[in-house]
Chains A and B, each alone.
Chain A
């Protein structure tokens, strides 16, 4: 067993450590508050372990560099915040279309535009879903602690390779910047088998039959990579049948592996009357409230925290809605994930928003106030 002494670590640092444990050896980015510590740690660590760190001229170029390195067979990561995330969108769409694995970290800050660089926010939930154009699949993770940041980064890198799908890690300023005690195995290798080791003889880059591993350029297979709709070999096509099949193909893989991708966590009463559904740093405030109300006072309350935001945990929310009378959705924005919650609750419970967008965290008092009103 590797050494597992607890250490003090920042969320952003844990993200970089998780990426390195999962085999990431290429980082391209452009530093931006509050994500800069990810780049800093990668810059310190990558050169010593045979990796590459490049500071590019902007976010567009860094996203392009990450895609290029991925086709070359490296595991890649880039980190940014809201303004940079906007710039990356075009190339994220390209990576989704061409099925190139990579992990994009967005440490959310208060927007729109340059906003308040150092204030936390959860305003990029819908941008992560629909930021790039077209009917595309996305996977978005949102950790609520330093340790969760570590293991979700590991999961993101590995899943991204397996599914040939870009994955977005949506951190927020609170989780990115806070330091916490974590126990992380030292010098661990948490890398699942390389998908490209199991290449069938009749390999096609975009096989109709389903998911095929990515064979990097220079490993004996010749194929074409494009953002245009393409056939099995990657060459552009406008044939309606092939276009439809191609779009189905990129959506099917997420449906097939749904249970590996959709991660949630429920704590609280078995038959709750009031359930809080939230994600990111807001989970921390909600957990403080639910622990007190349920563990100390045995009140019928629960907390469903969403580690995966997209694809949206539909079944999990439906299940909650069947039991609960009231679902409270606290978010540090003007209401984004709540629309999705309402869609799944389907009127079976009352859905109550709790929004804060002044650049401060939602406090436990705010949540317990609103919860108390529905319990009495």
Chain B
């Protein structure tokens, strides 16, 4: 089970997390890995809380639901409050939050990494809607799920016509944010992304 990665992408409906999970799963397929993607469907997916799970493994995947997350992304405060306690391996699970919407508390044992994902998407990439791809960049940089070049190509394939470049730019910005480190303020961290 050492190869098994269980990724939970959580936030508010409309933040593009379900699309992000599909693109992540698509990229994993292109990277020749086994993958299962599931998502919350009910009325909560239309405006309220939104959750999507992706399992990536080299072995075949049987049980399709995420039970023991190895990566957790929280894009708003409500999902942070709801899903953080569900982590079983505290300290081992990579927790990434969007500090634009999540203010804590960041208890030390969870080793929460916070990045101003939506703020950077809006102010540095130029479009708030690409925050989901930026988040994927951070997640992939932190967890090394999929080969980054394959990931970039997959984003281009899946993005709506004409928006491939800006989505790839957001993804790259995610890598840049990760390299700057957790808890940095946007004004210093995103001066000159390359």
B64 with A284: CB separation less than 8 A? yes
Contact with B along A1-35 (1 / 0, CB 8 A): 00000111000000000000000000000000110
B41 with A8: CB separation less than 8 A? no
- Judged by a CB distance under 8 angstroms, whether B114 is at the interface is no
- Judged by a CB distance under 8 angstroms, whether B37 is at the interface is yes
Contact with B along A341-372 (1 / 0, CB 8 A): 00000000000000000000101100000000
A180 with B36: CB separation less than 8 A? yes
Binds A, one of B7-15, B22-30, B98-106, B173-181: B22-30
- Judged by a CB distance under 8 angstroms, whether B77 is at the interface is no
B63 with A288: CB separation less than 8 A? yes
- Judged by a CB distance under 8 angstroms, whether A228 is at the interface is no
Residues in A with CB closer than 8 Å to B39 are 177
Residues in A with CB closer than 8 Å to B65 are 361
A174 with B35: CB separation less than 8 A? no
CA A222 to CA B142, docked complex, whole Å: 70
Residues in B with CB closer than 8 Å to A177 are 38-39, 41
- Judged by a CB distance under 8 angstroms, whether B143 is at the interface is no
CA A361 to CA B67, docked complex, whole Å: 12
Residues in B with CB closer than 8 Å to A8 are 22, 25-26, 29, 35, 37
CA A125 to CA B127, docked complex, whole Å: 49
> Least Cβ distance of B22 to chain A in Å?
7
Residues in B with CB closer than 8 Å to A281 are 64
B37 with A364: CB separation less than 8 A? no
Given the interface contacts A8-B25, A8-B29, does A287 sit within 8 Å of B37 by beta carbon? no
Contact partner of B36 (CB less than 8 A), chosen from A179, A291, A364, is A179
Residues in A with CB closer than 8 Å to B62 are 284-285, 287-288, 291, 364
- Judged by a CB distance under 8 angstroms, whether A186 is at the interface is no
Residues in A with CB closer than 8 Å to B67 are 363
- Judged by a CB distance under 8 angstroms, whether B160 is at the interface is no
B38 with A181: CB separation less than 8 A? no
B41 with A181: CB separation less than 8 A? no
CA A177 to CA B42, docked complex, whole Å: 12
CA A291 to CA B57, docked complex, whole Å: 15
B29 with A181: CB separation less than 8 A? yes
- Judged by a CB distance under 8 angstroms, whether B34 is at the interface is yes
- Judged by a CB distance under 8 angstroms, whether A118 is at the interface is yes
Given the interface contacts A7-B29, A8-B25, does A178 sit within 8 Å of B63 by beta carbon? no
Given the interface contacts A174-B64, A179-B25, A291-B62, does A34 sit within 8 Å of B41 by beta carbon? yes
B63 with A181: CB separation less than 8 A? no
Given the interface contacts A7-B29, A8-B29, does A179 sit within 8 Å of B22 by beta carbon? yes
> Least Cβ distance of B172 to chain A in Å?
23
B37 with A178: CB separation less than 8 A? yes
Nearest first, the 5 closest Cβ-Cβ pairs linking A and B are A288-B62, A179-B37, A118-B41, A118-B42, A287-B62
User: What are 14 residue pairs bridging A and B, where the CB atoms are less than 8 Å apart in the complex?
Assistant: A6-B29, A6-B32, A8-B26, A33-B41, A118-B41, A177-B38, A177-B41, A180-B36, A180-B37, A180-B61, A181-B29, A361-B65, A363-B63, A364-B62
Known: A179-B25, A181-B29. 15 other contacts (CB 8 A): A7-B29, A8-B26, A8-B29, A117-B42, A173-B41, A177-B39, A179-B36, A181-B28, A181-B34, A181-B35, A281-B64, A284-B62, A284-B64, A287-B62, A288-B63
Q: Which residues of A contact B (CB under 8 A)?
A: 6-8, 33-34, 117-118, 173-174, 177-181, 281, 284-285, 287-288, 291, 361, 363-364
